[in-house]
Amino acid sequence: MVKMSSILFSGGCTGGHLFPGIAVAEALTGVVGRIGFVGQGTELERRESEGRGFDYFQVPSVSLVDLRRRPIRSTVAGWTAYRAARRIVAEFSPSAVVGLGGFSSAPAVLAAFKMGVPVTLLEQNVVPGRATRFLSRLAKRVCVAFAETEAGLPSSVECRLTGNPIRRLPPETEPEETADRRRVLLVLGGSQGSQSLNRTVPEALAAIRPQSTRWRVVHQCGGQDPGGVREAYRLAGWSAVVEQFLDLPPRWLRQSDLVVARAGATTLAEIATAGRAVVLVPYPHAADDHQRANAEWFACRGAARMVLETNGRQRFLGGLVEEMDVLLGSSPSRWRLANAIQRLARPDAADAVLDVLGESLDGFAELKPMQRRAA
């Protein structure tokens, strides 16, 4: 069996970009001699990569917003980041570089292209991100999660529909039986949390108090102090576990019966694979309104319910109460949504990305998914 020397992943910053790379890296373990991640130095990047035994390198990034606001300073910073990335690519000597999206992926992707290292990009959203649009011409191929994404990229770019890779749930973390027979409402604000959901979900549930004896809440609140969110649930009359960060979201999804979540692509891929009914609240300030496009893609297929924040707070609150009231009280309604979204899942997306990587790497393409996992 041929082992490739190394694969370098570039980007991360948020879980939505980082976790698909982690999923592919886990699938490569045992096949690739060395795996590394280049990021901008967030705690999330470092913890998730180094905690799995992968190398981690920090390179600052510059966004288009930075370039517009501070062009001279940002140009100097961008050049410094590019030179640092070149040194990392030269030392790491990867067989390929995988860009994960976001402008933190740009320095290493640019360096790899200039140094003749094959580049593959992952694009998680229906609407391709600005970094993907900018870097796509440098890539051998772009792996997309939605067929519609290709229309947003230059016609010269070769796209492959792979789905969005998600992390595998280790067997030892399978959900255990619990004496608490109440159903679980899982609230996910994304890897950075959502102050809007932290405030509005408890307020909405206060209006649905008759359901509270049959349900309990698990709420990921992000950087906000969980104490305030816990108190909001207490005043609403609902039992809730509130944490800043939930390790292994797929594990919590398997324990849940209904999910309220932002519409990040990676969160959606994990919900689809778990097959759970979901109410989506797209983040209204996402670049190019990409979360709304993600949510609409699923909602139009009968696989999710969607509530928008953009119509004013009272209409947002009322919409959330209406959707949750129906789904909390109706098992058939939850089942229909769960069944529809699970049919859209691509649980083998990581293996599909490996196949795309293999097309440009000699001695790798012939490895089958089961061989990779057994390596």
- Indicate if the pLDDT at residue 294 is higher than 80: yes
Q: 4-166+348-374 domain in CATH 3.40.50.720? A: no
- Indicate if the pLDDT at residue 216 is higher than 70: yes
- The reply to whether 171-343 shares the fold of 4-166+348-374 is yes
Domain edges within the chain: 4-166+348-374, 171-343
- Indicate if the pLDDT at residue 194 is higher than 90: no
Q: Kindly state the average pLDDT of the residues 309-322.
A: 94
**C-alpha–C-alpha distance, residues 91 and 77, integer Å:** 21
- Indicate if the pLDDT at residue 364 is higher than 80: no
Q: Kindly state the average pLDDT of the residues 342-348.
A: 97
Helix (H) or strand (E) holding 78: helix 71-92
Q: Confidence class of residue 76 from pLDDT cuts 50, 70 and 90?
A: confident
Write out pLDDT tens, residues 351-362.
999 999 988 776
Q: Confidence class of residue 366 from pLDDT cuts 50, 70 and 90?
A: very low
- Please name the CATH architecture into which domain 171-343 falls: 3-Layer(aba) Sandwich (3.40)
Pick from 213, 224, 226, 215: which is nearest to 186 by CA? 215
What's the pLDDT at 210?
85
- Indicate if the pLDDT at residue 47 is higher than 50: yes
Token digits of residue 44:
């999330």
Average pLDDT of the chain is 90
**C-alpha–C-alpha distance, residues 109 and 123, integer Å:** 14
| 288 torsion bin: left (phi>0), alpha (psi -120 to 50), beta (else) | left
Could you tell me the pTM of the whole model?
0.91
Query: Which strands, in side-by-side order, build the sheet including 119-123?
Result: 55-58, 32-39, 4-10, 96-99, 119-123, 141-144, 159-161
Question: Alpha carbon of 283 to those of 200, 225, 263, 276, 309: distances in Å?
Answer: 14, 20, 7, 20, 8
Q: Tell me, what DSSP letter sits at residue 223?
A: T
What's the pLDDT at 328?
97
**C-alpha–C-alpha distance, residues 340 and 131, integer Å:** 31
* Residue corresponding to tokens 């590394």: 36
What's the pLDDT at 334?
98
- Indicate if the pLDDT at residue 177 is higher than 80: no
Task: Give the lowest-confidence range in 68-77, 171-180, 309-318.
Answer: 171-180
What's the pLDDT at 369?
45
Q: Work out the percent of the chain whose per-residue pLDDT is above 70.
A: 91
What's the pLDDT at 171?
61
What's the pLDDT at 375?
40
Give CA 73 to chain center in angstroms: 31
What's the pLDDT at 23?
96
What's the pLDDT at 70?
85
Question: Rounded to the nearest 5°, which phi and psi values hold at 360?
Answer: -110, 10
Write out pLDDT tens, residues 94-119.
999 999 999 899 999 999 999 999 99
- Indicate if the pLDDT at residue 367 is higher than 50: no
What's the pLDDT at 168?
81
Write out pLDDT tens, residues 241-290.
999 988 888 899 999 999 999 999 999 999 999 999 999 999 999 999 99
Q: Kindly state the average pLDDT of the residues 166-178.
A: 67
**C-alpha–C-alpha distance, residues 220 and 201, integer Å:** 12
Task: Give the lowest-confidence range in 29-38, 82-91, 363-372.
Answer: 363-372
28 or 2, which is more confident? 28
What's the pLDDT at 373?
42
